[in-house]
Structure 1
């Protein structure tokens, strides 16, 4: 056994919060859990995996949390751990939390996605062909900081449920329920919506044909050379919008099979291939005229007359040896006379009359053409075609589920929340108020897989129905929750500035409000030539034109951190992206722990690959939003954190009493939220919010060699001064300086804060 090493199998451990301690659970086999825990638990049951395990962490709840809790009844033994057994990276996050080796995932939607990725069972017919995560696994992928839909699923609806269950007397429903009702009534917005609509129509046509003919095609009489259509083998009901839909590849293969079976003429084949290459369907009539264009227009009418003449004359089968050649010659002459698509109907009819044999025999060839039957599959294909110019509203692709015609992870995340709300209000009352949402709820509840993994546990909820008599609906803007919908809900109202508006806004800035800009005196402490390849931006991770500027930016922040860091410090690289800053810090400070905090999975994987090649083991990766990170740390850094992300970083640092080194970015995207209030400090409280946002918008006018760059730099300093004054009001000593050289980036402000001594 020499030379063989055995590595213990690593599991994806899901840590869930519970309000019941182990002894109480042993007696009752019931646990009070927050709704987020219940959702994650049921998704784990829906997506079983041998690589995922559950751990329940008992915590002491507040009275409000207990009131909004649900009952999880489970006879089997549940594994619980105590506080001292919780890994420290997990303790730094909001539950539910996943720990997968050195990767930490937190946030309800991110945890649910991670569980679904490790799923080992097959999908049900109602799901998308790629599973619960949908096309390219994009379902709930965007974090709630940037996605209205993700925020709605994991934050807004949870708050709406808590508002209803905690209400003493419910008079009005939360507006989020009305927003979802509007969403379900909106046109579906999914990738390749026209392909989905064609598949739905194709399945509908198949189901109708099978119903009329008892499962046998009725497109026309059976003739030689024409095969019977194969019955549908897709699972689920044929006419359903989900489950029985064919994939893109399946439809393309069916279309190719149709062409082979039809054996069309050379002109027809060329026309169809040309149309498929162009992928243009102008209209149904245009498509039919295209399919029947050129020789087919004449040939079909000639075929009809040929059939009649063949029945009357019954010509002898003894044809000259060159009959087929003569027919081919006549057909060639016909092709030369085929009118163009712009020809009038009269010209087409005249040419058809000329080519049709008459009673006197004029216009006939020596050999009679054999009649060919009409291609039934081409007719079916034309019936299923949907032109690409059709409005999305007219595609008849309905919201069978939350994100369209397929069951996705979003439905499973929303279902328990709506179950609590509907049972609290009462089903009849809820249906009368929100009928579309109620139909969605009943459809999801009727699925057998959902019955086995969700409903069996939800039936044990201890829900008290509200006694409120009159419950009204709030007024809510009739907008969509789709990000791609131009009529989507968008709380950000863009500020477009004019010269007079900017000057008027700057008039509110009084003397002493702005923080003086200090000189950057940091001396180089390392040489780039001594930095390993995978820790340097020169290693090809960036274009050559950006590598030098990126290295200058990194050097400024790293030098500031090196001056304040001590051994054993925990340093958080907020919005770490691909890890340029964090990797350099991890290499230069091997005795410190570096946390990469990023909500984009691919960015963390890129950073992880570089770290593994450097063989550095002092790094942890946190896939989460800033809201879900609640741990303590010593230094917080952020390079070009966009918009409100800079303010969130500063708030995290102030709450943890940690030092910070931050270079802000994207001032124009600042907007007031329920978490952030602008202006941030008391020193700038006299500046109206409209004027403040006008200054922030002008702060982005810092393009190199631009006439407005000087004023833009001042506006940028004003916004950062407001941030610095807020930290100073908390006892911090804050320095505002410029990156060196200032030309390394237009957003070259640098905020450095030192907390008050204990």
Structure 2
């Protein structure tokens, strides 16, 4: 039995008003013949964006109303799915729908696709998952809430879907399919992606009366297949929202004619890549030369003694010693900053090597293993049972879906931007942090972090492009210039924490040779 927690804004005798994500989950659950081993819990939550909500029929639904969500689901934004083990949860629309299908009758497993890999990649790394989970849903919400009467342009995300459907399919063994056009969203097979997309697309098409709009003929054709051939119309027809009264002439936004698949060679544009020259590195280093760099200290908590029987990491023998050295450094720092009953989050935890050591050493604390990779956390569940650690929760979610209150955040070798997202999450929660960054060259422009981050680096005139150059320089592992690049990037991170009232330590892991990515940032509020 799994527990599905969904947010609503109101409920009466006949109808429920809720965010679109809740409606997608409910309608999909009903389409799958309402599997009895998925228990639905509705939670009334205040939401400033209620004008973008939809209503749907309450009749036929089996659910209960809750005031509070239990952990670990309470640590995440809804929709969220607590697994039957009571210590694991899954957050994020696509991952939650995958769980609903896994708990449904065997006849629906085909919706997960080849090797059950449909939408298994998280929205942080997959353009396709992000489109299904975030982009098209946000577009539908915008249309519901306020689509100006004088607006003549169709939603951008509808244009992206139309372009996607116009491209050849990209599937396993594509050569065996004579027709390589998109009958369905991912090609020749009806999958969970079709159900997810059908709801926001239906909302947009109905609201703006677009079913006969020639500029999105492929989208309309696809939607009608899902609604009529696969019987989804009776479910989406429950949705109530205001429709536009008049037809109008629409413009289709210009978009790149490529698919939305995670790997599409037509999107590879070498000329758009940043290629770093030595002169670029020297220029960036000169710009920040006036900023006093944070100097290395002994690792914070290096004199703390770990228990002699710490859980050994599950890695090949040739990596074991170096991995233990890495983990021990971060575990000692974590023990130093933690107090009894703290909630400690191991961000980007993988299968939990660091988190399990901390949980073993601090039995009075609770530890959350947070990662977005399903397979890694499957292994973490196995190891938790093997180790008999009852103070560990396991959360499959993107970083931005985690909203729990915690006291300490830790991370070992979160790649590129992920290290900065971890630091940001800790600073926002006023939590202490223990972070060993990785993949400095993976730092790139994104919609969450603006580089540089610290007041000092901004004031000296370093641009985002110049900062990314420092990241590329830092990836020259084992060289003097690479070491300097690492120190400069991590100085920016340390100064950011200092500007928010933290006491900060920058150190090298002991021994330095345990990894080339051996900087350790500890910040205590």
How high is the TM-score relative to the length of structure 2?
Answer: 0.94
- In structure 1, what is the Cα distance between the partners aligned to 2:50 and 2:366? 36
Partner of 1:536: 312
- Cα deviation for residue 670 of structure 1 reads 1.1
Partner of 2:348: 575
Seen in structure 2, the aligned counterparts of structure 1 residues 578 and 50 have a Cα distance that, compared at 3 Å, is same
- Cα deviation for residue 80 of structure 1 reads 3.5
Partner of 2:92: 107
- Spell out, residue by residue over 1:317-370, the C-alpha distance to the aligned partner (whole angstroms, 9 max, x if none): xxxxxxxxxxxxxxxxxxxxxxxxxxxxxxxxxxxxxxxxxxxxxxxxxxxxxx
Partner of 2:389: 616
Tell whether 2:346 aligns with 1:564.
no
- In structure 2, what is the Cα distance between the partners aligned to 1:89 and 1:174? 36
- Cα deviation for residue 61 of structure 1 reads 2.1
- Cα deviation for residue 468 of structure 1 reads 7.9
- Cα deviation for residue 175 of structure 1 reads 2.1
- In structure 2, what is the Cα distance between the partners aligned to 1:493 and 1:561? 41
2:224 aligns to what SS in structure 1? helix
- Cα deviation for residue 141 of structure 1 reads 0.5
- Spell out, residue by residue over 1:102-154, the C-alpha distance to the aligned partner (whole angstroms, 9 max, x if none): 1111100000001011111524xxxxxx6001000111100000000000001
Tell whether 2:20 aligns with 1:30.
no
For 1:575-654, list aligned pairs within 5 A.
575-654=348-427
Seen in structure 2, the aligned counterparts of structure 1 residues 45 and 713 have a Cα distance that, compared at 3 Å, is same
- Cα deviation for residue 621 of structure 1 reads 0.4
- Cα deviation for residue 730 of structure 1 reads 1.4
Tell whether 2:286 aligns with 1:520.
no
- Spell out, residue by residue over 1:576-606, the C-alpha distance to the aligned partner (whole angstroms, 9 max, x if none): 0011100111111111000000111111121
- Cα deviation for residue 173 of structure 1 reads 2.3
2:53 pairs, out of 69, 83, 95, with 69
Seen in structure 2, the aligned counterparts of structure 1 residues 32 and 622 have a Cα distance that, compared at 3 Å, is same
Partner of 2:475: 700
- In structure 2, what is the Cα distance between the partners aligned to 1:573 and 1:674? 23
Seen in structure 2, the aligned counterparts of structure 1 residues 448 and 152 have a Cα distance that, compared at 3 Å, is closer
Seen in structure 2, the aligned counterparts of structure 1 residues 77 and 136 have a Cα distance that, compared at 3 Å, is closer
Seen in structure 2, the aligned counterparts of structure 1 residues 523 and 163 have a Cα distance that, compared at 3 Å, is closer
- Spell out, residue by residue over 1:543-569, the C-alpha distance to the aligned partner (whole angstroms, 9 max, x if none): 222111111101110111111111101
RMSD of Structure 2 on Structure 1 (CA) = 2.0
Alpha carbons 1:164, 1:173 under 8 Å: kept: no
Tell whether 2:437 aligns with 1:664.
yes
Alpha carbons 1:58, 1:80 under 8 Å: kept: no
For 1:205-284, list aligned pairs within 5 A.
none
How high is the TM-score relative to the length of structure 1?
Answer: 0.66
- Cα deviation for residue 750 of structure 1 reads 0.6
Seen in structure 2, the aligned counterparts of structure 1 residues 424 and 489 have a Cα distance that, compared at 3 Å, is farther
1:122 aligns to what SS in structure 2? helix
For 1:273-312, list aligned pairs within 5 A.
none
Partner of 2:241: 462
- Cα deviation for residue 488 of structure 1 reads 3.5
Residue ranges of structure 1 left out of the alignment (5+ in a row): 1-10, 124-129, 198-394, 704-708
Partner of 1:221: none
Seen in structure 2, the aligned counterparts of structure 1 residues 117 and 60 have a Cα distance that, compared at 3 Å, is same
Partner of 2:282: 503
More strand by share: 2
Count matched residues.
Answer: 518
Partner of 1:413: 196
Partner of 1:546: 319
Tell whether 2:431 aligns with 1:677.
no
For 1:446-457, list aligned pairs within 5 A.
446-452=228-234, 454-457=235-238
- In structure 2, what is the Cα distance between the partners aligned to 1:444 and 1:683? 54
Seen in structure 2, the aligned counterparts of structure 1 residues 607 and 193 have a Cα distance that, compared at 3 Å, is same
Seen in structure 2, the aligned counterparts of structure 1 residues 488 and 596 have a Cα distance that, compared at 3 Å, is same
2:38 pairs, out of 52, 59, 70, with 52
1:515 aligns to what SS in structure 2? coil
- In structure 1, what is the Cα distance between the partners aligned to 2:15 and 2:445? 42
- In structure 2, what is the Cα distance between the partners aligned to 1:449 and 1:176? 25
Partner of 2:79: 96
Alpha carbons 2:72, 2:88 under 8 Å: kept: no
- Cα deviation for residue 495 of structure 1 reads 2.2
1:154 aligns to what SS in structure 2? helix
Partner of 2:509: 739
